[in-house]
């Protein structure tokens, strides 16, 4: 073989390798052209800040009794006085059962009913993307979760993780810490608290890259100087407000202020969920004093947020309960021995004494052994919520009201996939409130290197989308979906799946709930791109060298 022929062979092989390393596009889809067309059609994105405040177990009677103790009237709360949109709604699970906080939180965060104990998953165990994840990963929002229970407890978990059992707090913890959420605050949780505080702090700092605050001073300092942080207070949960050491442990008001300090320093809009979780714990314990005090302090946090939102502008505040706990009833209207009410003019201890004396004069009782099916309250304030008082009938409607306020982004509410004879079969149920979805891109990655993009047109009137895609035989792959909607505020990505081809020829689909990195953008496209750049650069140098010798 002469020299010139060898050079031609090498040149041909180089070209083949370069093009083989590049992405493959299938169907009538040209990535850059379509993206450009889509972005030109988009309306100006509506980007209100969103604050959801959840009183866990806070039924209407909790609110009324707390108002009587604090303000001397049954409707004196800031929610009753200053929120223009109000509604009563139901809370049952997909099976019609009385809900728990996992199913209820999932309904709020995803707009889909599910089974008790399920976190961020539908009744079949399929992954459901949450409102926090849409805003964090698709709309570049800053995000935060605050709770008086624990960070991996049911309610915060339903905004940030995906498991079939709320008790699996170790997996929940890992998913929450891996999401890229800017600020998380609460207690340690039942599984995490078995370690020492120093071990937990070290793990968070080195494994997840968060600075950690363990007292109120550190919390406020980090909220001013850091781009992100985790706040760990108490042990398993934060203490009840009546038992709180005010010099070391923050209240729900303190944590809310600190979270807003951090989030408002960023240039992006933000999403914050704040949970008064110990209202529910006090209800389960049939402890009237703690139930009332926790509700009062939660209402004070709402009062702060409502004033903050009005001053900041362009901010939605929603106050809800996930369910009612233990059937709290006021047996008769109280007649108090004196009319002295808590006031800013008194010290914290003086106000607490007044509250305790007034609570002792109540005739109230818990009438149920667990949660009840009693309707609970929705309160809304801010842009885009017009008509929400007519739209809220169930927990799931909270998600859809927010979706509409954000400009109607498309949502997959059910999905399934399987592989048969090298065909990937995908079935999707898409909900888009303004019916403007016109396509889906299926992004496929093989062995973390090469990828394919398949564009599937979608009929605007169609809710169910089914498609078959040819895949390479006997190859492991990952895939995720991107929903194209020219009039949506942002294109939404959905569920990364890993598919493993076993050596025996069987298939083994693995749900995203087992993946600690739930962001579809972390699907190793950077690894693939880096690989392509390196190979292409090497081959260009090689070609230049040999072309010069011709």
Same domain, 308 and 445: no
Residue 365 counted as domain residue: no
Please report, for residues 229, 236, 256, the alpha-carbon distance to residue 186 in angstroms, rounded to integers and kept in the order given. 12, 9, 11
Pair (36, 161) in one structural domain: no
Task: Please count the structural domains in the chain.
Answer: 2
Mean pLDDT, all residues of the chain = 85
Domain end (from 390, 405, 420)? 405
Count of alpha carbons within 13 Å of 186, Cβ hemisphere only?
31
Distance of alpha carbon 115 from alpha carbon 123, whole angstroms: 5
CATH classification at residue 206:
3.40.720.10
Answer yes or no: is 370 within a domain. Answer: no
Within a domain: residue 353?
Answer: no
CA distance 135 to 140: 6
- Per-residue pLDDT, 8: 59
Query: Who has greater pLDDT, 241 or 529?
Result: 241
Residues 20, 124 share a domain: no
* Together in a domain, 414 and 400: no
Q: Does 29 map to a domain?
A: yes
Q: What is the CATH number of the domain that holds 476?
A: 2.60.40.10
Instruction: Report which secondary-structure segment, H or E, holds 481.
Output: strand 477-484
Q: Does a structural domain hold residue 80? A: no
Contact 423, 469 (CB under 8 A): yes
In this structure, the answer to whether residues 398 and 516 fall within a common structural domain is no
- Confidence check: pLDDT of 193 > 70: no
Instruction: Based on the fold, state whether residues 399 and 416 are members of the same structural domain.
Output: no
> DSSP class of residue 333?
-
Q: How confident is the model at residue 42 (pLDDT cuts 50, 70, 90)?
A: very low
67 compared with 437, residue with greater pLDDT: 67
Q: Quick one: 395 and 248 in the same domain?
A: yes
Q: Cα-atom radius of gyration of the chain, to the nearest Å?
A: 27
The pLDDT of 325-333, averaged and rounded, is 97
Tell me if 338 is assigned to some domain.
no
* Nearest in space to 258 (alpha carbons), one of 222, 227, 307: 222
Strand partners, 229: 183
Lowest-confidence pick of 37-41, 199-203, 352-356, 364-368: 37-41
Non-local (6+) Cβ contacts of 143 within 8 A are: 132, 135, 136, 179, 180, 181, 182, 183, 263, 270, 271, 272
Residue 45 has pLDDT above 90, yes or no: no
Q: Tens of pLDDT along 259-281? A: 999 999 999 999 999 999 999 99
Q: What is the pLDDT of residues 389-420, one digit of tens each?
A: 999 999 999 999 999 999 999 999 888 888 88
Question: Which positions are annotated as active-site residues?
Answer: 101
Same domain, 25 and 172: no
What does the angle CA 432 – CA 436 – CA 440 come to, to the nearest 5 degrees? Answer: 80
Query: Is 144 part of a structural domain of the chain?
Result: yes
Cα-based distances in Å from 367 to 56, 225, 370: 18, 48, 9
* Nearest one of 474, 481, 356, 386 to 427, comparing CA atoms: 481
- 104: which residues sit within 8 A by CB, 6+ positions away? 91, 155, 322, 323, 395
Q: Tokens 């988009």 identify what position?
A: 42
Higher-pLDDT residue of 98 and 486 is 98
329, β-bridge pairs: 365
Task: Please compute the mean of the pLDDT values over residues 90-100 and round it to a whole number.
Answer: 98
Q: What does the pLDDT average to over 342-352?
A: 97
Q: Are residues 211 and 295 in the same domain?
A: yes
Residues 485 and 441 in one domain: yes
- pLDDT class for 46, splitting at 50, 70, 90? low
> Which of 34-38, 189-193, 233-237 shows the highest mean pLDDT?
233-237
What range defines the domain where residue 382 resides?
49-57+85-330+375-405
How many other C-beta atoms can be found within 10 angstroms of the C-beta atom of residue 10?
13
Same domain, 123 and 174: yes
pLDDT in tens, 26-35: 333 222 232 3
In terms of Cα–Cα distance, which of 278, 189, 281, 277 is closest to 230?
Answer: 189
- Do 383 and 431 lie in one domain? The reply is no
Tell me which residue has tokens 């999403």: 271
Q: For residue range 101-153, what is the model confidence (pLDDT) as tens digits?
A: 999 999 999 999 999 999 999 999 989 999 999 999 999 999 999 999 999 99
């Amino acid at each position: 073989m002469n020299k010139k022929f060898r050079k031609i062979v090498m040149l041909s092989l180089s070209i083949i390798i370069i093009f083989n390393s590049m992405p493959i596009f299938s169907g009538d889809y040209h990535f850059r052209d379509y993206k450009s067309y889509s972005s030109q059609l988009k309306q100006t994105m509506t980007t209100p800040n969103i604050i959801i405040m959840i009183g866990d177990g806070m039924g209407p009677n909790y609110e009324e009794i707390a108002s009587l103790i604090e303000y001397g009237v049954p409707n004196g709360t800031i929610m009753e006085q200053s929120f223009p949109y109000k509604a009563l709604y139901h809370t049952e699970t997909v099976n019609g059962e009385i809900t728990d906080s996992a199913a209820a939180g999932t309904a709020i965060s995803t707009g889909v009913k599910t089974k008790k104990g399920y976190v961020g998953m539908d009744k079949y165990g399929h992954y459901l993307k949450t409102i926090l994840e849409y805003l964090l990963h698709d709309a570049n929002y800053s995000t935060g979760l605050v709770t008086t229970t624990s960070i991996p407890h049911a309610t915060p978990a339903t905004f940030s993780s995906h498991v079939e059992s709320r008790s699996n707090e170790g997996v929940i913890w890992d998913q929450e810490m891996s999401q890229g959420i800017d600020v998380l605050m609460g207690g340690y949780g039942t599984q995490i608290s078995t370690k020492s505080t120093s071990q937990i702090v070290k793990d968070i700092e080195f494994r997840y890259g968060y600075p950690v605050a363990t007292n109120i001073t550190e919390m406020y300092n980090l909220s001013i100087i850091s781009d992100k942080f985790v706040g760990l207070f108490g042990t398993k949960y934060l203490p009840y407000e009546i038992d709180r050491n005010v010099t070391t442990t923050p209240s729900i008001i303190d944590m809310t202020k600190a979270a807003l300090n951090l989030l408002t320093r960023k240039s992006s809009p933000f999403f914050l969920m704040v949970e008064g979780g110990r209202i529910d714990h006090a209800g389960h314990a049939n402890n009237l004093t703690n139930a009332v005090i926790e509700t009062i302090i939660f209402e004070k946090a709402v009062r702060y947020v409502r004033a903050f939102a009005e001053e900041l502008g362009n901010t939605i505040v929603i106050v809800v309960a996930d369910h009612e706990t233990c059937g709290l009833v006021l047996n008769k209207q109280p007649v108090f021995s004196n009319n002295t009410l808590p006031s800013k003019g008194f010290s914290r201890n003086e106000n607490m004494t007044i509250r305790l004396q007034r609570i002792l004069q109540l005739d109230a009782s818990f009438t149920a052994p667990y949660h009840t099916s009693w309707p609970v309250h929705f309160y809304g304030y801010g842009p885009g919520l017009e008509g929400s008082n007519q739209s809220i009938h169930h927990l799931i409607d909270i998600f859809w009201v927010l979706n509409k306020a954000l400009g109607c982004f498309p949502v997959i509410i059910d999905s399934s996939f399987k592989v048969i004879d090298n065909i990937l079969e995908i079935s999707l149920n898409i909900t888009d409130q303004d019916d403007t979805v016109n396509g889906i891109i299926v992004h496929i990655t093989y062995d973390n290197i090469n990828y394919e993009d398949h564009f599937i047109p979608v009929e605007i009137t169609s809710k169910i989308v089914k498609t078959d895609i040819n895949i390479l035989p006997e190859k492991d792959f990952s895939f995720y979906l991107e929903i194209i909607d020219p009039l949506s505020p942002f294109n939404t990505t959905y569920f990364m799946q890993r598919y493993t081809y076993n050596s025996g020829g069987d298939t083994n689909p693995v749900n995203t709930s087992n993946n600690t990195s739930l962001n579809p953008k972390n699907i190793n496209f950077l690894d693939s791109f880096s690989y392509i750049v390196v190979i292409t650069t090497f081959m260009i140098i090689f070609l230049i060298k040999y072309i010069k010798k011709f």
